[in-house]
Amino acid sequence: MKLGTLKLENNFVLAPMQNVTTGPYRRFCRNFYKIGLVCAPMIYTKGIVSSPKSFEHELYKIEKERPISVQLIGSDPEALKKSIEYLESYKFDVLDINAGCPSKRAIRAEQGGYLLDDFKNLKVLLEIAIKFSSRPVSLKTRTGFKKNFDLVTFKDIVNDSGIEFLTVHARTVKDGSNDSAIDLNFIKKLKESISIPLVGNGDIINPKFAKYFMDYTNVDAIMIGRGTLGNPEIFYQIHEYFTKGREIPFINNKTVMRERIELYERLLDDFLDGITFKYPLEEYKFIELKRNSIWLTKNIENSTELRRKISETKNLKQLKLVLEKKDVKGSVKYVQNIIKKLKQRKIPLKDLTIHEQLTKPLSEYKAIGPHVAAARKIKERGRFIGEGMVIMFVITKGKGSISERAEPIEYVDIKDIDNEYYISHQIVPAALRVLTVLGVTEEELLGESLKSFLEK
């Protein structure tokens, strides 16, 4: 099918959603069924002008996802022009102008949905986009600002603008996501009024409503956003219903959920291969997997409790422990066994060694931490100590502060080690950072005998 001059495999469109339709997410949805057009999340024009590198991650590898649309949001014509110039080096298929975002940030800045209350500036922005973009231009909007816009005025703007197609969410800006506010009658009238293709959007969360939406309004294509959350098969389900009248029920359980999370991680790893981010890749991976894992719990047994556990994770390791349903009892026994071996002096000294780097000359340290105290003891024995050196030390038994009991590893024996310090300050805190997410308490981890040992 065609949207203006744009040729697509079908009339399905994945909506642009901030912090949702990222590169990995778009690939994930397309893995379940071919989608005619996918959209990258909206990018602020003033952001591109002031700090273009901060938006690069939204555009990584988009040349491998075609057909794909890139959406811009802004109210300043000059910033829009510069943003279009910046985007020229990227390979994508449609430049979309946002005139529908209902967020407070957008409205305060007189952009997005606010433009439906400022047709004069909307016309200027469309003129800029058409003039300077080398790609087809589209417009995404809502049915109005506080109320539905005047059809005659709006149709003249659209028909005379030069845009290739229009996407309309069937609510006003003021309505936000109000479930009762969908206005298909207005979408139908709009379709009858304009001379370019119309894409319908809003509350398409199952095949039956998708068909009703298209049949009633006669739109040329449908755009789905929230309906994909937790149900990446929705485009396939709609296709089967449209073409065969076949209803494919949404089925989810823990096995299906884990399979889909594993798939998402594989696609995520492939996406991340060979690219750099403004923050560590593992952090980006954790954020992506965490939020998608929450969505993918949809309709599974005890999903509320599972979502709570997922939401409480702080890093990738904790998240995987929750998702993979590790043997909690086995993990507790493993930690207890390490503590037991430590008490029996069966842990190698090298495994108890703490490594810390001197970040400045030894003489410049005013606060004497354990690694500084250990470094001084090494120097007292006639060895050179300089900035940048990694000091290897252990904490020994005896009186005094931890710093006073920090000894260079080469000068101690395993019998000198302060077991209580390692259990209370190293092993237990590290284990609880992971196991508390799985519902394990410090009392359960330590057990009565270990607890008594530490309280002596």
| Residues that are catalytic | 101
**CA 370 and chain centroid, separation:** 39
- Rounded to whole angstroms, the Cα distance separating 202 from 181 reads 10
Q: How many CA atoms lie within 13 A of 107 on its CB side?
A: 10
- Rounded to whole angstroms, the Cα distance separating 11 from 437 reads 43
Beta bridge partners of 147: none
**Angle, CA of 298, 304 and 309, to the nearest 5°:** 105
- Rounded to whole angstroms, the Cα distance separating 210 from 228 reads 13
Strands 354-357 and 390-395: what pairing?
A: antiparallel
Helix 316-323 vs helix 281-295: angle between axes, to the nearest 10 degrees? Answer: 30
Beta bridge partners of 70: 95
Helix 77-87 vs helix 119-132: angle between axes, to the nearest 10 degrees? Answer: 30
List the one residue out of 206, 274, 199, 284 whose CA is nearest residue 240: 206
Q: Which residues contact 430 (CB under 8 A, 6 or more apart)?
A: none
Q: Hey, how many other C-beta atoms are within 10 angstroms of the C-beta on 139?
A: 24
Q: Which long-range contacts (CB under 8 A, 24 or more apart) does 393-399 make?
A: 393/353, 393/354, 393/356, 394/349, 394/352, 394/353, 394/354, 395/354, 395/370, 395/421, 395/422
